[in-house]
Amino acid sequence: MVILTLNCGSSSAKYQVFDWEEKEVLSVGVVERIGLEYSTIEQKSKGKPVYQARFSSPTHKEAIELVLKMLVDPEYGCIGSLDEIGAVGHRVLHGGEMFKKSTLVTDEVVEKLKTLIPLGPLHMPANIMGIEAARKLMPGVPNAIVMDTAFHQTMPEEAFMYAVPYEWYTKYNVRRYGFHGTSHLYCAKRAACLLGKKNEDTNLIILHIGNGASASAVKNGVCIETSMGLTPLEGLVMGTRSGDLDPAIIPYICQNTGLTVQEMDTYLNKKSGLMGLCGKSDRRDVHEAALAGDRNAQLAVDMECHRLKKYIGAYAALLGRVDAVVFTAGVGEMGDHIRKGTLEGLESLGIIFDEEKNRLSHCRNAETCISADSSPVKVFVIPTDEELVITEDAYALMNGTYDVHTNFHYTFESPDYVNKARAEGLKGNLKKTPELERIIAIPPAKASCSVKGC
């Protein structure tokens, strides 16, 4: 049996097929430009050539129709029949206060999701279209939703409330929800495993840094604070999003420029962050420009690291004891210059990173430890796996064994867990960079020392 995961964005649909018995990924793909003059698809299946094509996809329904067709294609596909799909797991941006854990999809669930569209107007309609398309095209196959906000719903009231009129919360659901929850959950469980500690005994600061970026404080295995708020706009400096700012800036700029509320929203979400500071949003481009002497690009790097460092300090104060700082997602996993700028000068918090280890950690196929041997607080780089969380939730919901993450055991919590695709990819990384082996993090149950390289 296989599990299909779907992550439908406003104009895209990412997907993955996972063989539950063999515990390996059979296929990954993405459809882009949905709703435009033409759409594109790229699919990579195990042992098969890469499939790329242009086609017409006015809605997500046509996109998913092609995905299902290509999954069973003799030349490019990965399964013999759609009957092999036992469940479909969907990533959903916003669960509001209705959905605090993953759940099976029913007509009632879909209607409730539609009431949450105002909290995520860009992503929620696409999420819902993906769910409806999958249900229509595969009748009888269980569908499960996994909310980006769910992991953060353990925050106490003093953390998730804003100091605004209380009726804004009761009437309009204004509060902090947080996002990237599946990534934070995965990294929290993996970090506890690498530390050789029980989840409920583990305190962590997790930094998910991609184009969008968020931080979370995890105390005794549950989230007590996170940087994103009502929407994914709040918090860290991001690729095109501003993150934290004085709210008075909004009416001030609107009054001086004539921008509408909608135009201001566009500026803060799509024309701010690194893009607003230096005209580039990809960290690789920003770093290259900074090295070439672009002052604004260097300022953008410095501001991002400054904001990350500030959140680490704040979260360390909330946690009292920090067992590890975790970097994840594209930039967190590959941006050693961002990690360096963030970690420098944190010795007073017990965080001492090793510059050479940090430089070596440039690999998305291994969990590494980049803290100095003398560091009281470990620093891990953990490649995230949101699709696996969605897959396992969907399988458990289908079988009636699912529960909230504090009462549920994921396969990747085991010291013996192996991601087969990454393990294979790591062989090539080690051939190219043999020194990488000394910083690979090993769970204590599998090593004579607590963490190899630390």
249 and 360 belong to one structural domain = yes
**Residues contacting 410, CB < 8 A, separation 6+:** 189, 388, 389, 392
Q: What is the CATH number of the domain that holds 45?
A: 3.30.420.40
Q: What percent of the chain has pLDDT over 70?
A: 98
Catalytic residue among 148, 323, 336, 393: 148
Q: What is the pLDDT of residue 392?
A: 96
62 burial type by CB count under 10 A (0-12 exposed, 13-18 middle, 19+ buried)? middle
Element holding 24 (H helix, E strand): strand 24-32
Mean pLDDT of 117-142: 91
253 and 119 belong to one structural domain = no
pLDDT digits (tens, 9 = 90+) for 180-207: 999 999 999 999 999 999 999 999 999 9
Nearest to 221 by CA among 141, 325, 124, 151: 151
- CB-based contact 44:21 (threshold 8 Å): no
Q: Distances from the Cα of 133 to the Cαs of 53, 59, 128, 137, 231, in angstroms?
A: 21, 9, 9, 6, 26
Structural domains counted in the chain: 2
Structural domain contains residue 218 = yes
64 and 188 belong to one structural domain = no
**Per-residue pLDDT at 208 exceeds 70:** yes
The residue segments making up the domain with residue 268 are: 181-381
Q: What is the pLDDT of residue 454?
A: 56
pLDDT digits (tens, 9 = 90+) for 81-115: 999 999 999 999 999 999 999 999 999 999 999 99
Structural domain contains residue 160 = no
Counting Cα atoms < 13 Å in the Cβ hemisphere of 276 gives 17
111 and 192 belong to one structural domain = no
**Per-residue pLDDT at 132 exceeds 90:** yes
Q: What is the pLDDT of residue 10?
A: 76
123 and 10 belong to one structural domain = yes
Give the alpha-carbon dihedral of 374, 378, 381, 384, to 10 degrees. Answer: 170
Q: How far apart are CA 138 and CA 239, in angstroms?
A: 37
Residue where a domain stops, chosen among 326, 346, 381? 381
**Phi and psi torsions of 453, nearest 5°:** 90, -5
**Per-residue pLDDT at 2 exceeds 70:** yes
Sign of CA dihedral 271, 274, 275, 276: positive
285 and 330 belong to one structural domain = yes
Structural domain contains residue 119 = yes
Mean pLDDT of 5-23: 91
Mean pLDDT of 402-411: 94
Token pair for residue 11? 């104009």
Q: What is the pLDDT of residue 46?
A: 92
Catalytic: 336?
no
- CB-based contact 367:383 (threshold 8 Å): yes
32 and 133 belong to one structural domain = yes
Structural domain contains residue 441 = no
Residue where a domain stops, chosen among 93, 125, 147? 147
Q: What is the pLDDT of residue 34?
A: 87
311 and 187 belong to one structural domain = yes
Query: From the centroid of its chain, how far is CA 399?
Result: 26
Structural domain contains residue 434 = no
Token pair for residue 389? 């969380």
Across the chain, mean pLDDT equals 94
Residue where a domain stops, chosen among 98, 131, 147? 147
Residue 247 DSSP one-character state:
T
When comparing pLDDT for 302 and 60, which is higher?
302
Nearest to 20 by CA among 392, 428, 301: 392
DSSP codes of every residue in 169-232: HHHH--S---S-HHHHHHHHHHHHHHHT--GGG--EEEEEESSSEEEEEEETTEEEEES--SST
134 and 194 belong to one structural domain = no
122 and 201 belong to one structural domain = no
**Residues contacting 102, CB < 8 A, separation 6+:** 144, 145, 146, 147, 150, 393, 394, 397, 402
When comparing pLDDT for 268 and 12, which is higher?
268
Q: What is the pLDDT of residue 453?
A: 52
For 30-54, b where at least 16 C-beta lie within 10 A, e where not — what string? bbbbbeeeebbbebbbeebeebeee
Token pair for residue 229? 């708020």
pLDDT digits (tens, 9 = 90+) for 147-160: 999 999 999 999 99
Give the confidence band of 128 by pLDDT, cuts at 50, 70, 90: very high
- The one-letter code for the residue type at 266 is T
**Per-residue pLDDT at 448 exceeds 70:** no
Structural domain contains residue 442 = no
56 and 125 belong to one structural domain = yes
Mean pLDDT of 356-370: 95
Token pair for residue 9? 């964005």
Structural domain contains residue 427 = no
Q: What is the pLDDT of residue 449?
A: 44
Q: How far apart are CA 168 and CA 185, in angstroms?
A: 29
Q: What percent of the chain has pLDDT over 90?
A: 89
- CB-based contact 412:393 (threshold 8 Å): no
229 and 125 belong to one structural domain = no
Q: What is the pLDDT of residue 273?
A: 96
Q: What is the pLDDT of residue 447?
A: 62
Structural domain contains residue 396 = no
